[in-house]
A and B are shown apart, each in its own frame.
Chain A
Amino acid sequence: MKTFDRNYYGQTENPYKTKLAVITKIHQETSETKTYTFKFAGEKHPFDFSPGQFNMISLLGIGEGPFSISSTPTQKDSFDHTIRVVGDLTKAIGELEVGHAVGIRGPYGVGWPIDSARGKDLLIIAGGVGLAPLRGLINLIVEQHHNFGRVEVMYGSRKPDNLIFTDEYDTWRQTPGMRLFLTVDEVPKGVKWPYGEGIVTNLFDQSEIDPANALAFMCGPEIMMRFVARSLIIRGFSEESIFVSLERRMECGMAKCGRCMIGPKYVCTDGPVFSYPEVKALPHNLLAASF
């Protein structure tokens, strides 16, 4: 069988072709979520991406799906994905061990607008595994905190044992200018929980950020983001200062399969990070802040 004439139209390779990557580390975050560290096999160049972007991960024979990159770009020789077991593909990934191979292609999409956040305050709001696409950003700020103003991370989860990246909270708290607030929907009987209870917007009263000189980045369930966006606007954040990361089903990552489309936007190439006005212009009132 012959292959293409190596004619990929200005691309170095077939964009559908997934590349061999090996798991070098697995960290159990919760009972159903793990953080995997991957390394491309035989890759000479460092993997270059921006926090908020995603990769398409394949287990050949099972399928392929989009997963946000959860490490910092400064970790040059490898990268992380934090994956919760929810379906066939993630279940199969959950059974992998260190040394096992997967197929990865990427990075795809538009990440967080980090450059516009430099010199400003930053409010980061996450729900559940929605913290994964923000972890790379937070750890980048930890490394470069002098470039940023006050940074507040507000993270909500279902229960205390659903929190991810718990090992890193101390580092985040000790970073100058950075504060971490936690809340859970429900505290099971007998569990000691010194932090907040209830929805993530309950934490807003503790914020010391001046909305006039701040950006807000958020990722979580759409229903959460809808209420957060609404609360932020009430608190004086301009619509232009709010950014969200959206989730959609994707099978290509390259605006070809058509699945992730919302109105005229492809979440894979126009997003997954959108500004609030961009989302507002889309049909279906995704994050409609109706007052």
Chain B
Amino acid sequence: MFGQVLQVLPKREVVVGIGSLKLDNLDTLIEKVLDGYLAYGPIAKDGEYAFELIKPGIKPYLGCAVTMLPAKHVLQPVNQMLFSFWLGNGFKIEEPALDTKLAILGISPCDVHAVLALDRVFGGTFVDPYYWERRKNTLIIAANCTEVARESFCTSWGTGPELYSNYDLLLTEIADGYLVEVGSSEGEEVVKDLGLSKATQSDLNDKALRLERARANSRKKLPITPNKLHKFLRDNFDHPAWVRNADVCFSCGNCTFACPTCYCADIRDEVRPSRNVGVRRAEWDSCQILEFSEVALGANFRRPRIDRFKHRALHKLSWMKQQYGLTGCVGCGRCVRWCPSWPERRGQITSLADPVEIVADLMEPREKFKIERPGSTIV
């Protein structure tokens, strides 16, 4: 489907035939999707929402909520089997089948942008067949955000609250139902038999108005324009604010696990007690964790906490752009929300991991961050 050169984004033909439709009742769409796909969507869980398998009878929430974790686990599972092996005279390897048709329902515009970044990470010179087998079998049913969460700053990146391309279907909540926009023939296949009426001009106006309102109400902004960020971060690589912030970071890795563009993995083998049968697995890992860059004999290439703290922030805000041409931050705000420092700063809608806060700190005069405590360049 996507040919060989995956540095280029997968091409989805825009609006085939039927264009915009009006959906009065979500259930008909969900039913239809569940009919042909293993579908994931935001399901209420512990007072939050999580992308989980949609089972009949459990309704996904298609309003505006930043799910606890992004939908990246659908494409890059938390812990996936790369292959199983048998050891004997030499070894035999068997790869898993990955031909299930998947759907991600209610994925927000910022998360779709994150998927586009992951597409490039798992493409390139070496193509990760595990990611792409899932990706090419995945239907993206995105939902525009008619309200931007207070920890999100997608408007600074232009990654939200509205999606313009790279969807199969795009939903927007309007006065009496949902506006459905068709972005691909796969999407059209899903909605064509639902008997939906064509959207009217007033439906389209309603969508535009709601998204305009969402944009206007979004308060959190990056204090610098994205195209100046690279040079700004380079110039402030040794700003003392880094030391102060890294000093109080727990290196728990929450910001990276919750990040929709973080992709680092730990590849390791698991064996049965017999030791001749096992599997090789790839599990999510985090550059924030001390052991991440450790090699034999205990040498560690990113031992100081500040190196790890900076690595994440700079990779998201600047280096991913150099590597893949797309920014590694989409402004979803999950790192803000899931940093352990968040509750202490509740009300300020910021936390230690907050890219907006990190950039804002670097804009402060250097003198403000005099280090009083000795030994704060810490391990």
Listed in ascending order, the chain A residues whose CB lies under 8 Å from chain B are 1-5, 7-11, 14-18, 20, 22, 41, 60-64, 86-90, 101, 103, 247-249, 251-252, 254-259, 261-264, 266, 269, 283-284
0/1 string, B1-26, CB within 8 A of A gives 1: 01111100000000000000000000
In the complex, chain B residues whose CB is within 8 Å of the CB of A2: 97, 99
Listed A/B pairs (27) with beta-carbon separation below 8 Å: A1-B97, A2-B99, A3-B96, A3-B97, A11-B127, A14-B129, A16-B129, A60-B85, A60-B278, A61-B85, A61-B87, A61-B269, A61-B271, A87-B295, A87-B297, A249-B293, A251-B267, A254-B126, A254-B128, A255-B125, A255-B126, A257-B265, A261-B315, A283-B237, A283-B310, A283-B314, A284-B307
How far apart sit A86 and B5, CA to CA, in the bound complex (Å)? 39
Do A264 and B319 form a contact, CB below 8 Å, given A247-B295, A259-B264, A283-B314? yes
Taking a contact as CB atoms closer than 8 A, the residue among A9, A61, A101 that contacts B127 in the complex is: A9
Do A60 and B269 form a contact, CB below 8 Å, given A1-B97, A87-B295, A87-B296? yes
In the complex, chain B residues whose CB is within 8 Å of the CB of A103: 91
In the complex, chain B residues whose CB is within 8 Å of the CB of A63: 268-269
Q: At the interface, is chain A mostly helix, strand, loop or mixed? A: loop
**Closest residue on chain A to residue B84 by CB atoms:** A1
Do A62 and B127 form a contact, CB below 8 Å, given A7-B133, A101-B91, A284-B307? no
How far apart sit A87 and B96, CA to CA, in the bound complex (Å)? 30
In the complex, chain B residues whose CB is within 8 Å of the CB of A22: 90
Most-contacted residue by chain B among A11, A14, A247, A248 (CB, 10 A): A14
B94 touches A3 (CB 8 A): yes
In the complex, chain B residues whose CB is within 8 Å of the CB of A7: 129, 133
**Closest residue on chain A to residue B131 by CB atoms:** A256
**Closest residue on chain B to residue A10 by CB atoms:** B4
A20 touches B91 (CB 8 A): yes
Taking a contact as CB atoms closer than 8 A, the residue among B95, B122, B266, B310 that contacts A3 in the complex is: B95
How far apart sit A265 and B116, CA to CA, in the bound complex (Å)? 20
Taking a contact as CB atoms closer than 8 A, the residue among A41, A64, A90, A259 that contacts B90 in the complex is: A41
Most-contacted residue by chain A among B97, B287, B296, B323 (CB, 10 A): B296
